[in-house]
Amino acid sequence: MTYGRLRRMLYTAAPSLTVASAILPDDLAGVYDDETETILIDRRMTWRRKRCTLVHELVHWMHRDPGCGSVYGTARERRCRRETALLLVDPVELATAERMYDGDMWLMGDALEVTTDILEDWRRILHGE
């Protein structure tokens, strides 16, 4: 599903959730605020990265995560990255892409329409990290 289609679907599937774009500081790709049920996505990113970031922030929303600035936040972020990778990448398609592109992360990401960060998270899952 494309970023735009996912955003449109959220209007009916999650009416209490606000998703908007903004220019975010530093290297922030997206943020979720549980108090206001708001997700902000950095508008300067590619559509692919926006899609992956939106799914990541939606996982935080599904768990009602209050923030990532603590020891518990670190565990929540790990859980979120894991679940995001599992949602975005089909294991059979991943195995096929890995064979087709000899493990080249950029080509695999392009074929699977995800970022290399998502693929790195999948590798952590496969290695039990």
Q: Enter the pTM of the model.
A: 0.92
The per-residue pLDDT for 73 is 75
Rounded Cα distance between 10 and 27, Å, is: 25
> What is the C-alpha to C-alpha distance for residues 22 and 24, in angstroms, rounded to an integer?
6
For the chain, 129 residues long, the average pLDDT of each consecutive 10-residue run is 93 95 94 94 97 97 80 82 97 96 97 97 88
pLDDT at 128 (0 to 100): 84
Instruction: Give the pLDDT of residue 68.
Output: 65
The pLDDT of residue 90: 96
Q: Is domain 3-127 in CATH 3.40.50, yes or no?
A: no
pLDDT for position 74:
83
In the chain, what are the domain boundaries? 3-127
What is the predicted pLDDT for the residue at 127?
Answer: 87
- The whole-number pLDDT of residue 49 equals 97
Asked if 28 and 41 count as a contact pair (C-beta separation under 8 A), the reply is: no
CA separation for the pair 12, 118 (Å, rounded): 27
Calculate the CA dihedral of residues 11, 51, 78, 116 and round it to 10 degrees. 170
